[in-house]
Amino acid sequence: MEIQIIDQKQALHQALEDSTSILLLKHSLTCPISAEAKRTFELYAKETETQMYVLPIQQARELSTYIAEQFHIKHESPQVLLFENGDVRWNASHYSITVQSLRDAEQQKS
């Protein structure tokens, strides 16, 4: 699946409206741990049909804050969020972001 950049509230709402589930990576452009999480996310993209997005924190801080507040999920970076039916069903951060954790989260879809 192709990974798209998301940096606006309207784009997030459109993505949630268009898809039953999406994976979103909150990614810091300056953090080596985040760079590794992004590589993992890109690797997983090759095996999933779920729409995937990357939110570059430094370029979309307002959207990142909005997600934390709107969905009651503590902000972390890197952080992957699995949205299902417009709500966050699963999230992981830092070294918990692995191909296996992404697989497991998707296998437990409602």
- What is the pLDDT, as a whole number, of residue 1? 74
Total residues found in the chain within this entry: 110
CA angle at 23 for the pair 80 and 62, rounded to the nearest 5°: 65
Strands 21-27 and 79-84: antiparallel
Mean model confidence pLDDT for the chain: 95
- The answer to pTM > 0.85 is yes
The residue-averaged pLDDT of 14-38 equals 96
Determine the residue type at 50: T
pLDDT digits (tens, 9 = 90+) for 32-86: 999 999 999 999 999 999 999 999 999 999 999 999 999 999 999 999 999 999 9
Whichever domain contains 37, its CATH number is 3.40.30.10
Number of domains the chain is built from: 1
CB atoms within 10 A of CB 96: 13
CB atoms within 10 A of CB 20: 13
- For 16, the domain range is 3-107
- What is the pLDDT, as a whole number, of residue 110? 53
